[in-house]
Amino acid sequence: MQGLIDRTFRLLEVLLVGLLVCMVVMVFGNVVLRYGFNSGITVSEELSRYFFVWLTFIGAVVTFRERAHLGVETLVGIFPRAGQLISMILSDLIILLCCVVFFWGTWKQYPINATMTAPVTGLPLSYVFGIGFFTAGGIGLITLARILRALTGRITEDEIRLFAGHGTSEIREHAE
């Protein structure tokens, strides 16, 4: 099971890199076309934006798993272990609520976006907005699993330390 999950996330990482490379190629390609050939592809502006949305919201799940999202741990850092565990469960419940609302909202919004097309590519916007299912679902499941582990006492000390801000992620530093 764990092996399958790890492999899935490695695949998602490949996807992220692919999206970023495509964005570079499309936007840079347009600059070259404009100066080299006095023309441009209007599709690439729109499509690169959509790739960007996918990159953001797929990456949000991958980085969530690594606890790379920015947060303030000054206070929880000085809590005793029990306090840290309780804070972690509470904060995970908040995250879960956010995911439920995000997922549900994407669901209710689906017909509205499915009947609306992008101005240039003509792509239905549900392709773009539908990514909310993946992000809310993915983060929600990770959080749910973590809450269950915490409640059944199977959470590792490393996870609690990471939650309390000991050992920050490299990505997190780059984000500033």
Tell which positions 39-98 bind another protein, by CB under 8 A.
40, 42, 45-46, 48-50, 52-53, 55-60, 62-63, 66, 68-76, 87-88, 90-91, 94-95, 97-98
157 binds another protein (CB under 8 A): no
Task: Find the binding residues for another protein in span 16-35 (CB under 8 A).
Answer: 16-17, 19-21, 23-24, 27-28, 30-31
Element (H, E) at 172: helix 170-174
Among 6, 11, 13, 141, binds another protein (CB under 8 A): 13
Residue 169 backbone class (left: φ over 0; alpha: ψ -120 to 50; beta: rest): beta
26 strand-pairing partners? none
For residues 116 and 148, which CB has a smaller minimum distance to another protein in the complex?
Answer: 116
For another protein, the binding residue among 47, 132, 138, 155 (CB under 8 A) is 132
Task: Supply the DSSP string of 24-89, one letter for each residue.
Answer: HHHHHHHHHHHHHHS---HHHHHHHHHHHHHHHHHHHHHHHHTT-S----HHHHTS-HHHHHHHHH
Say whether residue 11 binds another protein (CB under 8 A).
no
147 near another protein, rule: CB under 8 A? no
Q: What are phi and psi of 124, to 5 degrees?
A: -65, 140
By CB under 8 A, name the one of 5, 116, 145, 148 that touches another protein. Answer: 116
Q: How far is the CB of 80 from another protein (least distance, A)?
A: 14
3-state secondary structure of 2: helix
